[in-house]
Amino acid sequence: MNIAKKAAGGALRFRAYATAAYVPPASMENVQRGRLPPPKPKPESPTFYTGRATYYDQLLALENASKQTRSALQQLQLLPLSRFAQQNLPPLHPVWKSQVDLAELMEAKLTTSRYRRFVSQLNQLNQYRRLAEVAGHLALAERLQRVLDMFERENKEAILARGKAKPTKFDEFGRTYTVGRRKESTARVWVIRTQLSPEEQAAASSSTTPAEPPQVQTSESPAPPPAQTVEDPIVHSAPAVGIPGFESGPLSIGPTQVKVHTTNILINNIPFTDYFPNVADRERIVRPFRVAGLIGAFNVFALVRGGGSTGQSGALTLGIAKGIAAHAPEVEPLLRKGFTSLKL
């Protein structure tokens, strides 16, 4: 038995399958081999394998432009910018391509997150362009604008014109007509500059004209005629008379003359102090004059309809602010800051 096991174990140490025959390399020289496949061209962009090469190439280009612009503005000592300076920069009104239009431009489907990431880079470049334009570096601003124009809508001007209100017009009397809306209330407002009374005009003219030296009157020179005062035909008019044809009754008595104050705010033909008993409503109406620093400079006549006292006072405030901005364009930025919902 031991002899049989040793014989079987020795046989198992050898491979039982056949091996390939050895072929000398010299004998393969005349054998025709198959052609190797041509090498694949190298991708033009390293983002080729992302499936959105155009999108990522444009995004990387915007990021590089943002970095270079930031370093240029830092060298010009325009960055970092203080909070006060940021608040006084002109507002931006970008109109970028929609998600669908941008996907067609990139030839790839864009998700909302990718679209927001792209638009955030555009907004950053647009802020740098505004800063360069305000600082007077027009060459840098123009280069950035050419980059941003590729991603703005073609009908940008028409879209921006929708949000702009029509310019306020003046009538033949110098009044402006504006409309303010708040909640369910609507206010039609007429604003006109105040006119000085004859006494105030005389005081203003006497303070501006230099005083003449007193003239010595001699016996030979005749006395100068007394100065004639020009009376205002409206203020100094003939006494009021009754309506012809009515010899008795209230219509036979002429209306009494009413002294009009220099500054009036009439609401539905009622002084605003009587129309709005609440102090908060009256303060809200006077606020545009306080913000502009033009208290007492205008007369206001308004017709208000609908809503409660809060809505009516808010509608009046917007209408008055629009009228003041039309009369005094230099205070328009102040009114815009004081009233965020104001569209001039």
Do 292 and 328 contact (CB within 8 A), yes or no? yes
Spatial CA neighbour of 195 closest among 292, 261, 290, 270: 261
**Sign of the four-CA dihedral 152, 153, 154, 156:** negative
The pLDDT tens digits for 40-77 are: 888 888 888 888 999 999 999 999 999 999 999 999 99
Helices (H), 22-87: 53-75, 83-87
Rg value, the chain, Cα: 43
Residue ranges and CATH numbers for the domains of the chain are: 48-162 (no CATH), 165-197+260-344 (3.30.230.10)
Beta-strand pair 270-271/185-193: unpaired
65 C-beta neighbours (distance < 10 Å), count: 18
Degrees to nearest 5, angle at CA 307 with 304 and 311? 80
**pLDDT at position 303:** 96
- Interhelix angle 309-327/279-292, rounded to 10 degrees, is 10
The pLDDT tens digits for 269-318 are: 999 999 999 999 999 999 999 999 999 899 999 999 999 999 999 999 99
For 235, the token pair is 């203020």
Spatial CA neighbour of 311 closest among 189, 180, 190: 180
**pLDDT at position 236:** 45
Q: Which residues pair with 299 in a beta bridge?
A: 192
Q: Is the peptide bond before 80 cis (omega within 30 degrees of 0)?
A: yes
| Phi then psi dihedrals of residue 212, to 5 deg | -85, 145
Q: Is the pTM of this model over 0.75?
A: no
Question: Which residues in the chain show pLDDT less than 70?
Answer: 1-19, 31-34, 163-165, 196-262, 340-344
Torsion on CA atoms 286, 291, 293, 298, rounded to nearest 10: -40
CA dist 152 and 94 (Å) reads: 8
317 C-beta neighbours (distance < 10 Å), count: 25
Spatial CA neighbour of 292 closest among 331, 336, 338, 342: 331
